């Protein structure tokens, strides 16, 4: 037997320690991804499709979820209803039904007026005034000007404060870029589960705490009729069984998380105050079967049951459908090729004159506390992701997206873009970054074959973050111009 200790000075000990560190690092990343999935499961009753797609890159997923949670739920000048409605407006510009439906459901959950979901005509004027900036940032961000900011900040009852506008700009850019990811990953075709109803888990209640015995489970304030309750719980049980099967089949969860996930789902079943022993038996059998299949077939991804087995009436009960077209004006306005013409009022945006690191970060962090650090962590996380294609291709992809949006780097040789990016890859990047609208643009496949799912997600993450930074640069530069005018 060879015993390796940290204090060994000979090569074998060093090699063993290196292997141990690598194993610990891999396990830590798997645990981190599992933890994020469990938190999403505990807070929403499901793991949303976007998080499932990003789970192959757990370090980035952690940064993304932290930023999104801060923007939508944490302290900020905008009311929660405004935040989700702005997200609806942003997603509607690209006809992203997945995000429009998701935020429409959250909008209602936080107490939003259902009449607002009839369209922009039903919302307060200050939200209507934001539509012009939303349209420009979504399709032709180089048109963003001092005048757009001035129009929103002018004095009056329906004006915006500077802090409110900065949060709105971050929300718009975040959702516009997320539309690109949803389009590139095909998430827009997935059904959108409603957030928990008021009779579900109460706000602020964490299933993880209950699983650890830290809190007592509160009882619901009201009890629906027996028929309605049994029907609703039957739907919930079937959905959670399918969701559990999907998690255990499609995600490489460490075995140490199985018991915790099972406990969370058990609590969720028992909290419905109905006899669900049959469903629990089915759940145990499915978990055991999943583990056996994983051992037999390794890391092979399986297609599992979905909500297709649920009848139409039940499916309508669990999803919210909203037509994106009712939340936009000027639907013909879209992306146009950026032309470099000195006589135009929009010229090339030179990063040497206004950059994220030197200008945008400090401004947004000063007007919207801590968001600069969160966004900067996202940019750093995506550029630090390992890639089999090397850092030069990642930089070429990033700079190519910025170039299509009118942003250029004086210290970069753009000849590398044509050398490193194949024509088909450039077409894919352009369609996802500039035309992420499934109703108008068919998505061309990535030219790399065979391509691992994690590599495809990596490309889509680069596109999303490059676009996010581009929109922020244009909007923050316009705000800076307004402030110094």
3-state secondary structure 403-469: HHCCEECCCCCCHHHHHHCCHHHHHHHHHHHHCCCCCCCCCCCCCCCCCCHHHHHHHHHHHHHHHHH
Phi, psi of 319 (to 5 degrees): -125, 155
* 378 confidence band (pLDDT: 50, 70, 90): very high
* 339 confidence band (pLDDT: 50, 70, 90): low
Angle among Cα 127, 131, 135 to the nearest 5 degrees reads: 155
What does the CA dihedral 475, 479, 480, 482 come to, rounded to 10 degrees? 140
* 158 confidence band (pLDDT: 50, 70, 90): confident
How many angstroms separate the CA atoms of 203 and 247, rounded?
24
CA distances from 333 to 134, 140, 151, 406 (A): 11, 9, 20, 18
Q: Kindly calculate the radius of gyration of the chain based on its CA atoms and give it in whole angstroms.
A: 24
Count of beta carbons in the 10 Å neighbourhood of residue 12? 10
Put residue 390 in one of left, alpha, beta given phi > 0 → left and psi -120 to 50 → alpha: left
Count of beta carbons in the 10 Å neighbourhood of residue 370? 12
Count of beta carbons in the 10 Å neighbourhood of residue 380? 12
Token pair listed for 190: 């997935």
- DSSP classification of residue 193: B
pLDDT of res. 452: 76
Tell me the range of 149-153, 256-260, 297-301 where mean pLDDT is highest.
Answer: 149-153
How many angstroms separate the CA atoms of 259 and 266, rounded?
10
Residue 206 is among the residues annotated as catalytic for this protein? no
Residue 301 CB partners (closer than 8 Å, separation 6+): 249, 250, 453
Say which range, 32-36, 153-157, 320-324, has the weakest mean pLDDT. Answer: 32-36
pLDDT beyond 50 at 232: no
pLDDT of res. 397: 95
pLDDT of res. 189: 58
Place of tokens 């999303």: 464
Higher-confidence residue: 77 or 31?
A: 77
pLDDT of res. 461: 96
Q: Is-above-0.85 flag for pTM?
A: no
pLDDT beyond 70 at 103: yes
Which of the following is catalytic: 37, 46, 96, 434? 96
pLDDT of res. 186: 82
Q: What is the mean pLDDT of residues 341-355?
A: 76
Task: Return the closest-CA partner of residue 168 out of 66, 70, 63, 77.
Answer: 77
* 271 confidence band (pLDDT: 50, 70, 90): very low
* 50 confidence band (pLDDT: 50, 70, 90): confident
Residue 393 CB partners (closer than 8 Å, separation 6+): 387, 420, 421
Q: What is the mean pLDDT of residues 160-171?
A: 96
Phi, psi of 393 (to 5 degrees): -70, -35
- Give 407's strand partners: 349
Q: What is the mean pLDDT of residues 19-33?
A: 54
Q: What is the mean pLDDT of residues 98-115?
A: 94
How many angstroms separate the CA atoms of 79 and 72, rounded?
9
Say which range, 78-82, 290-294, 351-355, 439-443, has the weakest mean pLDDT. Answer: 290-294
pLDDT beyond 50 at 228: no
Say which range, 152-161, 339-348, 391-400, has the weakest mean pLDDT. Answer: 339-348
Place of tokens 């450039």: 426
Pairing of the two strands 349-350 and 407-408: parallel
How many angstroms separate the CA atoms of 36 and 38, rounded?
5
């Amino acid at each position: 037997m060879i015993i390796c200790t940290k204090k060994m000075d000979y090569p074998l000990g060093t090699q063993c320690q290196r292997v141990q560190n690598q194993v610990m690092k891999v396990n830590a990343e798997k645990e981190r991804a599992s933890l994020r999935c469990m938190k999403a499961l505990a807070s929403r009753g499901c793991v949303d499709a976007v998080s499932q797609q990003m789970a192959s890159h757990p370090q980035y997923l952690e940064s993304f979820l932290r930023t999104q949670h801060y923007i939508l739920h944490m302290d900020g000048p905008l009311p929660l209803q405004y935040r989700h409605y702005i997200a609806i407006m942003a997603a509607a510009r690209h006809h992203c039904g997945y995000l429009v439906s998701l935020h429409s459901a959250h909008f209602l959950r936080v107490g939003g007026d259902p009449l607002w979901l009839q369209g922009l005509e039903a919302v307060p004027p200050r939200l209507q005034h934001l539509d012009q900036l939303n349209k420009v940032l979504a399709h032709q961000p180089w048109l963003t000007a001092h005048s757009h900011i001035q129009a929103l900040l002018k004095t009056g009852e329906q004006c915006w404060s500077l802090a409110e506008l900065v949060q709105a700009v971050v929300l718009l850019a975040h959702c516009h870029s997320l539309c690109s990811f949803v389009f590139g990953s095909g998430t827009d075709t997935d059904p959108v589960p409603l957030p928990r109803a008021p009779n579900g888990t109460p706000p602020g209640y964490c299933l993880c705490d209950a699983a650890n015995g830290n809190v007592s489970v509160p009882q619901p304030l009201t009890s629906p009729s027996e028929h309605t309750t049994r029907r609703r719980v039957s739907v919930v049980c079937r959905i959670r069984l399918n969701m559990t099967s999907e998690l255990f089949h499609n995600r490489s969860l460490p075995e140490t998380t199985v018991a915790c996930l099972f406990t969370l789902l058990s609590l969720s079943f028992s909290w419905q105050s109905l006899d669900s022993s049959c469903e629990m038996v089915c759940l145990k059998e499915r978990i055991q079967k999943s583990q056996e299949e994983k051992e037999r077939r390794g890391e092979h991804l399986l297609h599992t049951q979905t909500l297709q087995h649920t009848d139409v009436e039940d499916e309508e009960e669990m999803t919210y459908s909203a037509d994106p077209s009712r939340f936009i004006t000027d639907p013909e306005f879209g992306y146009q090729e950026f032309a470099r013409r000195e006589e135009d009022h929009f010229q090339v945006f030179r990063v040497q004159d206004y950059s994220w690191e030197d200008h945008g970060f400090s401004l947004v962090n000063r007007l919207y506390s801590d968001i600069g650090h969160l966004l900067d962590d996202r940019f750093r996380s995506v550029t630090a992701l390992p890639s089999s294609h090397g850092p030069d291709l990642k930089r070429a992809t990033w700079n190519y997206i910025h170039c299509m949006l009118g942003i250029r780097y004086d210290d970069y040789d753009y000849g590398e873009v044509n050398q490193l990016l194949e024509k088909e890859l450039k077409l894919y990047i352009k369609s996802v970054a500039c035309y992420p609208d499934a109703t108008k643009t068919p998505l061309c496949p990535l030219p790399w074959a065979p391509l691992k799912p994690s590599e495809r997600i990596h490309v889509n993450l680069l596109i999303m973050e490059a676009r996010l930074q581009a929109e922020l640069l244009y909007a923050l530069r316009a705000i800076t111009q307004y402030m110094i005018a």
